[in-house]
């Protein structure tokens, strides 16, 4: 029986079209989900949209449509982009789904009946774009939202409050004793030093001045505020409902608790503080890990419409294709530091990594196999010194890749694949297969040596293609197809750890190069004009 792996992203607020900085999260989580499937796990991958709140209410009013009509439109755009990116989610939840709204009502009621929620007066500052309420101690600059930099509005209303202080000591102890619960390590420090140590304040969990939301079951003048509504999606998507007690849905019993929450570092506190408290209030097991990933910046600035530096994913796909977009963001954003996007860097990396290193290796090797062996994969039978180092590098890089992917250090794992491709290109320079193929002296020995060299290169290509499958799945598929049908089926995870999995005597499928170099000046001129 396969080991389960439940991975979830944050659900996107369905008020506007996301940009590549937002969509990085989905690409990153998808790479992890694909890797886990490749390595034999039974994966459940959840994503979706958060569709309630004041911001959506205001957008719909301005457009002269209902909030549901507004979210239907935006959610459709979001799903379309995810599908273009090849996001392999198993379920897409909307917080307007009937089953979710019904479960949220019961969750809120149970927390109230347990004494975790109480009615009081909320007085503080509210950011409409972020759907966030702040106390004065959380604000660095007066009147300015600490997250988005927008204007804060004073808010004073009757509300239901979540008693966070009730669980403060328990949460502090849990985070301290469960080392990998919050990652990377600086996220843990931020949560402990900035929020837990100063003391947890009650959290507003209902609104009486907003109507677009899930009504509080026992007090319909209030709607459930975003964080109980949105955070509950991770369990309602599996069929959880507190009224079912131990008789939960099969999906919930199979996959809960979540193995990995992939979220932006800007919403870490909601998942690292509010979610554990809600889960304890419901009597649920905590997720195994909450990973607050860094941002993709534009010229070292956070993407923002007001700054005019937003880059949309669809535009990048239209210009460069899906896999180059995936490759770029997965290779340039480290595990624990922000990455940056510029068109200049994108084109440079496209040419250096995808065209010069990967595609050139594949194309040269396939062309030589076609030229010298009629497209038949030769059998190796003349090993010489450079071969051993090439094989050792392949096995070493495969092991490093697997370890890094299991630690969710995707950009580092991509680096290991790239180093293997560099080594293969160096091997071509060392062995000079074109010389072996054109030298009539000692024909058989030269031919046997050429067969071994090309076999080794084709095997490196196969191993690399398997490792690339979670990163650039369409490209991986194309490369494996060029190696022939028999070898396309020999693309298991286990096969990357032993050199020689490529079946000789099979026929390759020669096609066009997977990537061609971009003319950087021409491409930049088309983007910027002039």
- The pLDDT of residue 82: 97
Assigned domain for 452 exists: yes
- The pLDDT of residue 131: 61
CATH number at residue 389: 1.10.730.10
Assigned domain for 478 exists: yes
Top-confidence residue, 56 or 143 = 56
CA distance 517 to 5: 38
Assigned domain for 394 exists: yes
- The pLDDT of residue 157: 80
Closest C-alpha among 137, 282, 280, 121 to residue 200: 137
Tens digit of each residue's pLDDT (9 = 90 or more) over 478-487? 999 999 866 6
Assigned domain for 450 exists: yes
- The pLDDT of residue 45: 98
Assigned domain for 447 exists: yes
Residue 38 backbone dihedrals phi, psi, to 5 degrees:
-60, -40
Assigned domain for 169 exists: no
Assigned domain for 466 exists: yes
- The pLDDT of residue 436: 83
Residue 52 backbone dihedrals phi, psi, to 5 degrees:
-115, 170
Res. 400: pLDDT tops 90: yes
Neighbours of 214 (CB within 10 A): 24
Tens digit of each residue's pLDDT (9 = 90 or more) over 186-221? 999 999 999 999 999 888 899 888 899 999 999 999
- The pLDDT of residue 28: 98
Name the percent of the chain lying above pLDDT 70. Answer: 94
State pTM to two decimals.
0.94
Mean pLDDT of 11-18: 93
Tens digit of each residue's pLDDT (9 = 90 or more) over 96-109? 999 999 999 999 99
How many structural domains comprise the chain? 1
Assigned domain for 516 exists: no
- The pLDDT of residue 246: 61
Q: Using DSSP, how many helices (H) and how many strands (E) does the chain show?
A: 22, 16
Structural tokens at position 391:
């094989």
> Which domain does 437 fall in, by range?
344-497
Average pLDDT, the chain: 92
Name the percent of the chain lying above pLDDT 90. Answer: 78
- The pLDDT of residue 227: 87
Mean pLDDT of 430-441: 80
- The pLDDT of residue 180: 92
């Amino acid at each position: 029986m396969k080991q389960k792996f439940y991975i979830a992203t944050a659900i996107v607020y369905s008020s506007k079209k996301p940009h590549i900085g937002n969509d990085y999260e989905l690409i990153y989580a998808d790479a992890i989900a694909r890797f886990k499937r490749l390595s034999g796990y039974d994966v459940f991958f959840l994503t979706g949209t958060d569709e309630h709140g004041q911001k959506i209410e205001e957008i719909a009013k301005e457009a002269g449509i209902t909030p549901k009509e507004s979210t239907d439109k935006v959610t459709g755009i979001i799903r379309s982009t995810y599908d273009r990116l090849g996001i392999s989610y198993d379920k897409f939840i909307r917080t307007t789904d009937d089953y979710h709204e019904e479960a949220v009502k019961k969750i809120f009621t149970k927390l109230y009946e347990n004494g975790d929620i109480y009615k009081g007066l909320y007085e503080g500052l509210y950011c409409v774009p972020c759907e966030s309420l702040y106390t004065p101690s959380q604000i660095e600059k007066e009147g300015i939202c600490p997250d988005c930099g927008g204007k804060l509005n004073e808010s004073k209303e009757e509300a239901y409050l979540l008693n966070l202080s009730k669980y403060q000591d328990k949460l502090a102890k849990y985070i301290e004793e469960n080392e990998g619960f919050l990652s990377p390590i600086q996220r843990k420090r931020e949560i402990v030093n900035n929020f837990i140590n100063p003391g947890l304040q009650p959290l507003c969990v209902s609104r009486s001045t907003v109507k677009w939301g899930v009504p509080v079951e026992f007090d319909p003048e209030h709607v459930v505020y975003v964080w109980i509504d949105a955070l509950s999606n991770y369990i309602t998507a599996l069929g959880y409902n507190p009224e079912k007690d131990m008789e939960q849905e099969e999906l919930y019993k199979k996959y809960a608790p979540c193995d990995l929450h992939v979220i932006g570092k800007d919403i870490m506190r909601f998942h690292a503080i509010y979610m554990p408290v809600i889960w304890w209030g419901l009597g649920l097991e905590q997720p195994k890990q909450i990973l607050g990933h860094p941002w993709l910046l534009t010229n070292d600035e956070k993407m923002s419409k007001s700054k005019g530096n937003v880059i949309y994913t669809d535009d990048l796909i239209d210009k460069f294709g899906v896999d180059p977009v995936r490759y770029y963001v997965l290779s340039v954003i480290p595990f624990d530091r922000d990455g940056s996007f510029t068109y200049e860097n994108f084109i440079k990396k496209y040419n250096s990594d995808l065209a010069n290193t990967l595609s050139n290796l594949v194309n040269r090797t396939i062309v030589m196999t076609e030229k010298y062996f009629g497209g038949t994969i030769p059998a190796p039978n003349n090993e010489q010194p450079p071969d051993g180092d090439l094989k050792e590098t392949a096995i070493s890089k495969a092991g490093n890749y697997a370890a890094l992917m299991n630690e969710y250090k995707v950009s580092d794992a991509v680096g290991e694949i790239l180093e293997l491709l560099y080594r293969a290109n160096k091997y071509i320079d060392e062995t000079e297969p074109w010389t072996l193929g054109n030298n009539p002296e000692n024909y058989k020995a030269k031919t046997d040596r050429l067969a071994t060299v090309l076999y080794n290169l084709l095997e490196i290509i196969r191993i690399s293609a398997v490792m690339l499958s979670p990163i650039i799945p369409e490209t991986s598929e194309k490369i494996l197809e060029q190696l022939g049908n028999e070898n396309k089926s020999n693309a298991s995870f286990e096969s990357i750890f032993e050199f020689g999995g490529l079946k000789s005597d099979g026929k390759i499928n020669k096609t066009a190069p997977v990537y061609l170099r971009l003319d950087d000046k021409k491409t930049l001129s088309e983007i910027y004009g002039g």
